[in-house]
Amino acid sequence: MNRAFNILIGGTSALLVGLFLVLLVSMLLELWQQSAIRPPHFSEILFAARLSLFTATLSSIIAVVVSIPVAYLFTRYTFPGKDFFDTLLALPIVLSPIALGALLLIFFNTPLGKQIEHWFGPFVFEVKGIVLAQFAVIVGLSLRLIKETFHSIDVEYENLARTLGYNKMQVLSRVVLPMARRGLLAAFLLVWGRAIGEFGATVTLAGAMTMKTETIPVAIFLNFESVDISSAIVFITILVTMSFAILFFLRKTEAYVR
C-alpha cells in the first residue's frame, strides 16, 4: 500500500514537472531552428524590456503601498459590509484581465474619467495606462497576500505596544510592518512577477503599439500577429527567464529571511 502511494505521488509530480520541461525544451528547440531567421532589433528588445521593468516595478510598489493600510483595516477591524467589500477587492484575482481593461477603458469615457485625464494627462494608449492596468490586475493579489501576512501576526504584540504608549500609527510602523517584512517582500516579488507578464488589461487600455506601449507580452503578441515566429520566441525566452529568475530569487530570499 505504501509503495502504491509513493508511486502515485511520485508519478503525478514527475508528470507535472515533465509537462513544463517539455514546454521549455520545445521553446528552445524552436528557437534553435529559427536562428537563421532575422531576430528582432536590439533596440526593440531593449525598449520592451525597459518598459516592462519600469511599469511592473512602479505598479507593484503602488499596489503594495496601497494594500498595506487596506489589509490592516480588513484584518484588524469589523465594520458593516466588510464581507462584501472584501469580496469586491478580491475580484481582480478571478476577473479576466481583458474584462478589467475594458472596464478601465469604459471608465475613461465617462465625465469623471475624462476629468481625471484632464488633470493628470491621458491614460488611454499611454504608458500611464500600462501602469494603471497592471495595478488593477495585481492589487487584488497583493491585498490577499498581505492580509494573510497580517493574519499570521499575533495581535497580542500590538496590544502590548499600545500599553507601552504607542499610538496606532506607531504600532503599525514599528511593530506590525517589521514583523511582516518577509511577507511584504514575498508579496512584492509575486505581484511584480504577475505584472511583468500582464497582457490582457494592458493591451485593452494602452493598446499594442511598437516602441510606445510595447511591453514584452505585447511584443510577443505583435510578433505572432505579424507571423514573425523567431522574434516572438526571443521575447518568450526573455519573459520565461525573467519569471524563473524572480521565483528562484523569492525562494532564496525566503530561506535567507528564515
Per-residue pLDDT of the chain (258 residues; tens, 9 = 90+): 777 888 888 888 889 889 888 888 887 777 676 655 556 677 888 899 999 999 999 999 999 999 999 999 999 998 899 999 999 999 999 999 999 999 999 999 999 999 999 899 899 999 999 999 999 999 999 999 999 999 998 888 888 888 888 888 888 888 899 999 888 998 999 999 999 999 999 999 998 888 888 999 999 999 888 877 778 888 888 888 888 888 888 776 664 444
Query: What is the pTM assigned to this prediction?
Result: 0.86
Alpha-carbon gap, residue 204 to 223, rounded angstroms:
17
User: For 121, left (φ over 0), alpha (ψ -120 to 50), or beta?
Assistant: left
Long-range contacts, 175-182 (Cβ 8 Å, 24+): 176/72, 176/150, 177/68, 179/153, 180/146, 180/149, 180/150, 180/153, 181/257, 182/149, 182/254, 182/257, 182/258
Residues 6+ apart with CB under 8 A from 146: 64, 67, 68, 71, 180, 183, 184, 187
